[in-house]
Amino acid sequence: MSYRVGIPRGLAYYYLFPFMKGFLSTLGAEVVVSPLSDALTVEAMNCCPTDEPCVSVKLYFAHAKRLVDAGVDYLFIPVLSSVEKDNYCCPKIIGAAAMIRNGLGLQEEQVLAPEWNEREKPGTWRHNLLAVASRLGAGRELGEAAIRAGLAEQAASEKLALEGLTLPEVYHRLYGIDKPRRQRFDPGAQYDGQQVIGVLGHPYVLYDLAGHHVVDRLREYGQVITAEMVPGEDCRQEVATLYEGTRMWAYEARILGAGFSLLRKGIINKLVLVEAFECGPASVIESFLEEEAAKLVIPFLLLTVDEHTGEAGLVTRLEAFIDTSTNLKNNPSKDKDSFCIPAARSEKLKIGAPGMGLLDIALETVLNECKVEMVPTPPVTKRTVELGKELAPEFICYPLVTTLGQIWEVLEQGANTIVMVGGKGRCRFGWYAQLQELLLKRVDLDFRLIIIDSPLPWRERWPSFRQALREATNNAPLWLIARGLYLGYHKMAALDQAEKLLRRKRAYESRRGAADKVWRDFVKRIKKTASVRETARIFKTFQEELAAIPEIAIRPLRVKIIGEIYTVLESFVNQEIERFLASRPELRVEVVRDLSATQWFDLNVLRRRREVNIYEAVIAAAAPYLNVCVGGHGQESVGEVVLAAREGYDGVIQLLPFTCMPEIVAQNILVPLSEKLDLPFLSLVINEKTDTVGWETRLEAFLEVLAERREKLALPAWR
């Protein structure tokens, strides 16, 4: 039996279509590609459950829906977690299959979603493809032949691209599809053979609707070179000049490496980067490309596009850019170490660091034990945000903006060394440190950066972790560092446990605000304590003082907070949401939050059995809806909502910073899922422009919904 297998024209299509075509055709399937984006595609974009994803994801939803409406038997949407051993892919590409399945209400068997995960499960992609072959009625031998055919066609397409063909031209040459239009965009354009323009960006942006034919337009003025025309090995070599550059997202590394190669080898005299509005990885690589172009005096143009981008304005910017004069250096310096961590300094060590909630108390404790001066981390304020926004890329996530501003502030207060956590993964967090160093040094701030990454796995990561600890603690002996870590951990655990008790007490206290007063005194005492025993004594006193506060007999609304960890823990960023919810005049609300610094440390560093068991239960709950990790706490957010429905919560609130990739994946699954679970759900997207009044109005309206629902269910009174 021959099956009709649909391939949405977007995302992975622009990277792996030759493989998919060769694989599926060999299996005897009829391959159906959705039509080129047109007015009907734009109209179908409203099937995307939320407005937060980039335009490419919205278009992907539309293309998938058109295939489903056309009656294909299956959609083929590969789960590209990791296509190379050192890095991951963008969370939205990882989560595309799950978003489409949940967003369009498809059955699991309707989507063929083999996973590639070379970083964590190397080689299993072959097994996953054989499983797809089996579902299509093919045996192992034919499945293996199909894989070989797919690999051969992929190699052929990459070879053609190196001859100077764009991907649409390659696909037309190989399969006769989508014949390139010979349209004249600017009748007055003068072609200049000396003009060589690098045009970078994801092909699913450059060659789809939002790209407005940028490549073809620029070809009327000169030669255009795109990322697919640069040898992969050249790209890998150039991106490796960045600190941990080989761990950048695979396709973004290809774009960035191509840009470095074209710039450093003097091949181009202009560079254009086209990125989708809200594209997370692009917001990181744009700064590195802009810096390199500026260093080599190459004109650089950043074009950010979405479904609302007007063609006229884009064309005007392109034409103005073409008229920009160039000053290409004859022998540009490659400056291979331009973004590496600088060498140690000789002056007295004064550490500064951004914070997250009350985590800076633990860090200061460790450094005090090691006799290292730490400049106190200032709380996030409006000025902090303004400083960060002055330097940050426009569409970078909010946590980078606030932590960037905090680093600037501690440098103003005398810090000469910044400690920042690292860890390259699926989300942007692991690139914060390097990006912040680059941005701050543009305004001539002089400092040394120390990146502390996870020590796990021990055999691989311990040497670099130990070295970072030595630098941050002024070569303190390991036993002293361990003592500081032990005390810092206990302070952090005491604060998190106390805050958990505080959240419960707020819902029951007879006199509003009494628990918060006890909490503030407790935090002051914990900051000053110098021993684990004293920490335990202070915590016990806090428990007693909290217990002494009279309570009223009531059954409060129970609301669970989930989402991106920084946004959940940083009270200025989330506008004191926990306090706000718990202080409504006529309502009693118990806020429950499982995320904390201690919980993260116990799970990811200490691997405590209790936290591992809880995590596994959350992931199991998420699996029917999102069965792969998309980075951050995206998968956990889905699992938490499923468990919240089972445990009888009145509602769930998701907090995510604007453009947060993992939480956007979760959000697009949770919107339809919450309806299915009959669980009130509110997703709040936060950035520096979030209006307090509007924010509070939405929260109050949500609580009213919960209260009315409680009454309709005829549950006991809560007032």
DSSP conformation letters of 465-476:
HHHHHHHHTTS-
Q: 332 pLDDT exceeds 70? A: no
What is the token pair recorded at 386?
């303004």
Collapsing DSSP to helix, strand or coil, 356 comes out as coil
Q: Are residues 562 and 694 in the same domain?
A: yes
- Going by the DSSP 8-state scheme, the letter that residue 341 receives in this structure is P
Is 128 within 8 Å of 115 (Cβ atoms)? yes
Domain, as residue range, for 419: 350-476
pLDDT tens track for 534-570 = 999 999 999 999 999 999 999 999 999 999 999 999 9
What pLDDT is stored for residue 571 in this prediction? Answer: 95
What pLDDT is stored for residue 328 in this prediction? Answer: 43
Q: Are residues 420 and 300 in the same domain?
A: no
Q: Which residues, in sequence order, are CB contacts of 353 under 8 Å at separation 6+?
A: 360, 363, 374, 377, 407, 410, 418, 419, 420
Q: Is residue 345, in this structure, part of any structural domain at all?
A: no
CA dist., res. 43 & res. 27, Å (int): 34
Angle between the 634-646 and 609-622 helix axes, to the nearest 10 degrees? 80
Give the start-end residues of each E strand in 594-660: 651-657
CA dist., res. 540 & res. 325, Å (int): 70
Q: Are residues 115 and 153 in the same domain?
A: yes
Tokens 């000025």, residue located: 383
Q: 343 pLDDT exceeds 70? A: no
Q: Look at 274-283, 327-336, 530-539 and tell me which has the smallest mean pLDDT.
A: 327-336
Report the sign of the C-alpha dihedral through residues 392, 398, 400, 404, in that order: positive
Q: Are residues 277 and 392 in the same domain?
A: no
Is 66 within 8 Å of 106 (Cβ atoms)? no
Q: Which residues, in sequence order, are CB contacts of 401 under 8 Å at separation 6+?
A: 385, 388, 389, 392, 688
Q: Is residue 517, in this structure, part of any structural domain at all?
A: no
Q: Are residues 237 and 315 in the same domain?
A: yes
Is 90 exposed, middle or buried (CB count within 10 Å of its CB: 0-12, 13-18, 19+)?
buried
Q: Are residues 561 and 705 in the same domain?
A: yes
Q: Which of 142, 167, 192 is the last residue of a domain?
A: 167
Supply the mean pLDDT for the chain.
92
Q: Is residue 190, in this structure, part of any structural domain at all?
A: yes
Q: Which residues, in sequence order, are CB contacts of 625 under 8 Å at separation 6+?
A: 98, 102, 638, 642, 669, 673
The Cα angle at residue 188 between residues 186 and 192, in degrees rounded to 5:
95
Strand order in the sheet with 651-657: 589-592, 557-563, 651-657, 681-686
Q: Is residue 228, in this structure, part of any structural domain at all?
A: yes
What pLDDT is stored for residue 689 in this prediction? Answer: 86
What pLDDT is stored for residue 423 in this prediction? Answer: 85
Query: Which ranges of 370-431 would DSSP assign to H, the alpha helix?
Result: 382-391, 398-412
Report the sign of the C-alpha dihedral through residues 564, 568, 569, 570, in that order: positive
pLDDT tens track for 278-309 = 888 998 999 999 999 999 999 999 999 988 88
Q: Is residue 232, in this structure, part of any structural domain at all?
A: yes
What is the token pair recorded at 99?
């978003």
Q: Look at 241-250, 270-279, 451-460 and tell me which has the smallest mean pLDDT.
A: 451-460
Is 290 within 8 Å of 274 (Cβ atoms)? no
pLDDT tens track for 79-105 = 999 999 999 999 999 999 999 999 999
The CA–CA distances, whole Å, from 137 to 17, 21, 23, 77, 450 equal 22, 17, 14, 18, 55
Smallest Cα–Cα separation from 440: which of 471, 405, 475, 473? 405
CB burial string 343-374: b at 16+ within 10 A, e below: eeeeeebbbbbbbbbbbbbbbbbbbebbebeb
The CA–CA distances, whole Å, from 80 to 126, 161, 295, 628, 629 equal 13, 22, 34, 10, 11
CA dist., res. 45 & res. 65, Å (int): 9
Neighbours of 68 (CB within 10 A): 20
What pLDDT is stored for residue 465 in this prediction? Answer: 87
Q: How confident is the model at residue 714 (pLDDT cuts 50, 70, 90)?
A: low
CB burial string 291-328: b at 16+ within 10 A, e below: bbbeebebbbbbbbbeeebeeeebbeebeebbeeeeeb
Q: Are residues 16 and 82 in the same domain?
A: yes
CATH of the domain at 383: 3.40.50
CA dist., res. 464 & res. 452, Å (int): 8
Q: Are residues 579 and 699 in the same domain?
A: yes
- What is the number of domains present in the chain? 4
The arithmetic mean of pLDDT across residues 36-62, rounded, is 94
Q: Are residues 563 and 710 in the same domain?
A: yes
Q: 62 pLDDT exceeds 80? A: yes
What pLDDT is stored for residue 718 in this prediction? Answer: 43
Q: Are residues 415 and 286 in the same domain?
A: no
Q: Look at 18-27, 165-174, 192-201, 465-474 and tell me which has the smallest mean pLDDT.
A: 465-474
Smallest Cα–Cα separation from 195: which of 332, 330, 331, 321? 321
The arithmetic mean of pLDDT across residues 679-706, rounded, is 93
CATH of the domain at 683: 3.40.50.11900
Overall residue count recorded for the chain in this entry: 719
Query: Which ranges of 79-123 would DSSP assign to H, the alpha helix?
Result: 91-94, 96-103
CA dist., res. 219 & res. 328, Å (int): 20
pLDDT tens track for 379-413 = 999 999 999 999 999 888 899 999 999 999 999 99
Q: Is residue 425, in this structure, part of any structural domain at all?
A: yes
Q: Are residues 163 and 28 in the same domain?
A: yes
- Going by the DSSP 8-state scheme, the letter that residue 241 receives in this structure is T
CA dist., res. 219 & res. 164, Å (int): 12
Q: 68 pLDDT exceeds 80? A: yes
Q: Is residue 224, in this structure, part of any structural domain at all?
A: yes
The CA–CA distances, whole Å, from 565 to 42, 340, 666 equal 34, 28, 14
What is the token pair recorded at 478?
């390991």
What pLDDT is stored for residue 327 in this prediction? Answer: 52
Q: Is residue 409, in this structure, part of any structural domain at all?
A: yes
CA dist., res. 571 & res. 359, Å (int): 12
The Cα angle at residue 403 between residues 529 and 378, in degrees rounded to 5:
40
Is 276 within 8 Å of 205 (Cβ atoms)? yes
CA dist., res. 431 & res. 244, Å (int): 9
Q: 344 pLDDT exceeds 70? A: no
Q: Which of 476, 498, 516 is the last residue of a domain?
A: 476
Amino acid at 85: K
Amino acid at 134: S
The Cα angle at residue 181 between residues 180 and 185, in degrees rounded to 5:
130
pLDDT tens track for 611-642 = 999 999 999 999 999 999 999 999 999 999 99
CA dist., res. 714 & res. 147, Å (int): 58
Q: Which of 304, 322, 340 is the last residue of a domain?
A: 322
CA dist., res. 289 & res. 296, Å (int): 11
Amino acid at 537: R
Is 538 within 8 Å of 559 (Cβ atoms)? no
Give the end-to-end CA distance of the chain in Å, rounded to a whole number: 63
Give the up-direction half-sphere exposure of residue 52: CA atoms within 13 A in the CB hemisphere.
27
What pLDDT is stored for residue 334 in this prediction? Answer: 39
- Going by the DSSP 8-state scheme, the letter that residue 109 receives in this structure is G
CA dist., res. 242 & res. 85, Å (int): 17
Percentage of residues in the chain with pLDDT exceeding 90? 84
Q: Are residues 463 and 591 in the same domain?
A: no
CA dist., res. 97 & res. 626, Å (int): 9
Q: How confident is the model at residue 262 (pLDDT cuts 50, 70, 90)?
A: very high
What pLDDT is stored for residue 716 in this prediction? Answer: 52
What pLDDT is stored for residue 269 in this prediction? Answer: 94
Is 522 within 8 Å of 624 (Cβ atoms)? no
Percentage of residues in the chain with pLDDT exceeding 70? 96
Angle between the 167-175 and 13-26 helix axes, to the nearest 10 degrees? 20
